[in-house]
Amino acid sequence: MIETTVFMTVIVLILALSFDFINGFHDTANAIATSISTKALPPRIAILLASAMNLLGALTFTGVAKTIGGKIADPFSLENGLYIVIAALIAAIIWNLLTWYYGVPSSSSHALIGSLTGAVVASAGFSAVNMKGFISILEALVLSPILAFIVGYIIMSLIKFLFRNAHPSKINRRFRTLQVFTAAWQAFSHGTNDAQKSMGIITFALIAGGFQQTMDIPTWVKFSCALAMALGTSVGGWRIIKTVGTRIMKIEPSNGFAADCTSALVILGATLLKMPVSTTHVISSSIMGVGTAKRFHEVKWGTAQKIVTAWVITLPITFILAVAAYFIIDVLRRAVSL
């Protein structure tokens, strides 16, 4: 029995770090698409910068990890907690790879939260879900893109007003320089929120396996998740970079600066509130808000519609995938034990 528990925990660690790695290259576009699009940074330098700042951000906070690990369900009271986590991670990884392949900027946060909820329901029923905690997470996921759109609109409107008489080439040159710093800030904020989700799921598994008695995040978990995300970021997610950087709107340096500032503010604010948000949808929404303030018709609303569609369908699809994954795992587990 102990050997089985240890083996299953190792499987969880491999899957969780794989999810974090995939999350890194899946969400690389979040931090660097605008700076690459405006030629503020060469692609290789942008990816290295994003990797380093993601690593630093991931090592800085743990509040979101504790929210993921304890607010959706109670890991101390669940039976088959390790199988729940394995099913959730398999479902989230499948969805992330599918959306990456098709270049759709979907949310790794939605994927993980939807799949974890689905696996809990498959194992212990809806009563095992902490609805108050789940709804608070859902509120953050829904409100953050709306807030990013509004803030992006306001910041871009202020830039337009303050620099209305400035020479375009001079302004573009200055904002292109500033984008180096905002890209770094955005990558840091991304690390503070996204890497913590895997930290939370690993801690959930450690508690379920009886290896830990508190929701405190072990140092080795924090470092391994931060490193996995940084390595994933270094690979680069070119398909999604193309969508975010060119297919929502034609991004100029002032627009990129406004979008980067907006998303970094919203994501870091959510981290300080210990709430997981979709960095993908925050950044996409900030670009839409900036584009609307610049010229409404310049936003490619067809692409925006696809992003919103992915935002809406990710939770239910990953929920269903996780339910299916859990039942398959449960059938295999029972067959092996016979």
CB 269 within 8 Å of CB 191: no
Let me know if residue 283 belongs to a domain. yes
Neighbours of 101 (CB within 10 A): 9
Comparing CA positions, the residue from 17, 19, 34 lying closest to residue 187 is 34
90 lies in some domain? yes
**Residue 255 covered by a domain:** yes
DSSP letters spanning 66-86? HHHHHSSB-TTT-TTHHHHHH
Q: What are phi and psi of 129, to 5 degrees?
A: -80, 130
d(C-alpha 13, C-alpha 243), whole Å: 31
Q: Is the dihedral of CA 58, 59, 63, 66 positive or negative?
A: positive
Whether residue 338 lies inside any domain: the answer is no
pLDDT of residue 245: 46
Q: Could you tell me the pLDDT band of residue 247, with boundaries at 50, 70 and 90?
A: low
What is the domain extent for residue 216?
2-329
Amino acid of residue 201 = I
**Average per-residue pLDDT for the chain:** 85
Q: Identify whether the C-beta of residue 73 lies closer than 8 Å to the C-beta of residue 121.
A: no
Q: Answer whether residue 335 is part of any domain.
A: no
Q: Looking at the 3D structure of the chain, how many domains does it have?
A: 1
Residue 127 pLDDT grade (very low, low, confident, very high; cuts 50, 70, 90): very high
Considering the domain boundaries, does residue 336 fall inside one? no
Which residue's entry shows tokens 């699009």?
Answer: 37
Phi then psi for residue 216, to 5 deg, are -65, 140
Contact 130, 72 (CB under 8 A): yes
pLDDT above 90 for 322? yes
Tokens 């080795």, residue located: 220
pLDDT, one tens digit per residue, over 178-211 is 988 998 998 899 888 888 888 999 999 999 888 9
Which residue type, as a one-letter code, is found at position 155? I
Residue 122, both tokens: 């498959």
R_g of the chain computed on alpha carbons: 20
In a domain? residue 60: yes
pTM (predicted TM-score):
0.86
8 A C-beta contact, residue 316 and residue 137: no
Amino acid at 278: S
**What pairs with residue 73 in β-bridges?**
129
Cα distances (Å, whole numbers) of residue 133 to 47, 73, 113, 253, 270:
35, 8, 11, 39, 15
Residue 20 located in a structural domain: yes
| pLDDT value of residue 11 | 93
